[in-house]
Amino acid sequence: MKTWFITGTSAGFGRLLTEKILARGERVAATLRKPDALDDLKAQYGEQLWVAALDVTDTAAVRRVVDQAFADLGRIDVVVNNAAYALFGAGEEADNEQIRQQIDTNLTGSIQVIRAVLPHLRAQGGGRILQLSSEGGQIAYPNFGYYHATKWGIEGFVEAVAQEVAPFGIEFTLVEPGPARTNFGGGLVHATPLPAYDATPAGDVRRGLQDGSFAVTGDPAKMVDAMLASADQHPAPRRLTLGRGAYDKIRAALVQRLAELEAQQAVAFSTEADD
């Protein structure tokens, strides 16, 4: 029986993961900003569910809550770093506070959760971290630039840290869902649109979200099942791509990137020092 630590459990993937894990008899340490959102599950599952208030932008609180979870529950087998949201707007439309909050939550918050759990995972001889990224950790849509900055950023951080902690038996999986039928869209923070972008790709994406033509085809329950299954895979998959659209777009981006790299081989080699 596994014990899980999950951030951002009030809705979306975090809530679904918590429900499914509890239903199969395992323990969950669930964190969220408003703990009463899980009162129904607490009433149903009792001591099987450990709940704590946590805003991942509060680094001191991250350390305190993580330490308490390990103290109360002992071994935690899987950490799911899930808390995040998206700032929606073209690059020059967002204000400074919106940018800061996006980075503090998605990137710095995720980094600090990882930093807080690593000493405990080392001490217990290993564990698994599922880092929620996105197809947007490898591709990009107009109007999501700041969200992409955090997802590309956390992927780079995980790629480095995974190598550092592999000798301790700690493994990472970057989870990369495509658009899913969660409340993700309802949780968007919107920058103030500038009329100058109406006739640009940024305007096209804005209209696509408004009129429903921006395709959202992913089944959240099926995606969560795939995440749960990945936690039993050994060795851990470094990336878990979820959704046909995500697979197709990421593959096309990687093929294009590789072609562009190979076209620059001669230039790259020509810049080596002569000695």
Query: Residue 142 and residue 242: Cα distance in Å, rounded?
Result: 21
Is pLDDT at 105 greater than 70 in this prediction? yes
The predicted pLDDT at position 185 comes to 60
Exposed, middle or buried: residue 79 (CB in 10 Å: 0-12, 13-18, 19+)? buried
Could you tell me if 128 and 79 are in contact, meaning their C-beta atoms sit under 8 angstroms apart? Answer: yes
Mean pLDDT of the chain: 94
Mean pLDDT of 70-75: 96
Is pLDDT at 103 greater than 80 in this prediction? yes
The predicted pLDDT at position 208 comes to 84
The predicted pLDDT at position 210 comes to 81
The alpha carbon torsion through 37, 39, 45, 49 (nearest 10 deg) reads 60
Beta strand residue intervals within 112-265, DSSP E: 127-132, 170-177, 189-190, 239-242
Query: Residue 182 and residue 11: Cα distance in Å, rounded?
Result: 8
Query: Residue 205 and residue 17: Cα distance in Å, rounded?
Result: 30
pLDDT-based confidence at residue 275 (cuts at 50, 70, 90): confident
pLDDT-based confidence at residue 179 (cuts at 50, 70, 90): confident
Is pLDDT at 220 greater than 70 in this prediction? yes
Residues 183-206: pLDDT tens digits?
666 678 899 999 999 999 999 989
pLDDT-based confidence at residue 217 (cuts at 50, 70, 90): confident
How many beta carbons lie within 10 A of that of residue 205, not counting itself? 19
Is pLDDT at 218 greater than 90 in this prediction? no
Q: Is 80 helix (H, G, I), strand (E, B) or coil?
A: strand
**How distant, in Å, are the alpha carbons of 8, 102, 133 from that of 29?**
11, 24, 21
Query: Residue 8 and residue 1: Cα distance in Å, rounded?
Result: 22
Mean pLDDT of 167-190: 84
Query: Residue 45 and residue 39: Cα distance in Å, rounded?
Result: 10
**Active-site residues: which are they?**
133, 147, 151
Order of all β-strands in the sheet with 3-7: 49-53, 27-32, 3-7, 78-81, 127-132, 170-177, 239-242
Query: Residue 248 and residue 49: Cα distance in Å, rounded?
Result: 38
Selection from 163, 139, 142 nearest residue 151 by Cα: 139
Residues 125-153: pLDDT tens digits?
999 999 999 999 999 999 999 999 999 99
The predicted pLDDT at position 187 comes to 75
| Four-residue CA torsion sign, 45, 73, 131, 88 | positive
Is pLDDT at 180 greater than 70 in this prediction? no
Residues 82-100: pLDDT tens digits?
999 999 999 999 999 999 9
Beta bridge partners of 31: 7, 52
Residues 7-65: pLDDT tens digits?
999 999 999 999 999 999 999 999 999 999 999 999 999 999 999 999 999 999 999 99
Mean pLDDT of 159-184: 90
Where exactly are the structural domains of the chain?
A: 3-243
Is pLDDT at 4 greater than 80 in this prediction? yes
Query: Residue 198 and residue 2: Cα distance in Å, rounded?
Result: 50
Exposed, middle or buried: residue 197 (CB in 10 Å: 0-12, 13-18, 19+)? buried
The predicted pLDDT at position 23 comes to 97
Is pLDDT at 231 greater than 90 in this prediction? yes
Q: Which fold has domain 3-243?
A: Rossmann fold (3.40.50)
The predicted pLDDT at position 211 comes to 78
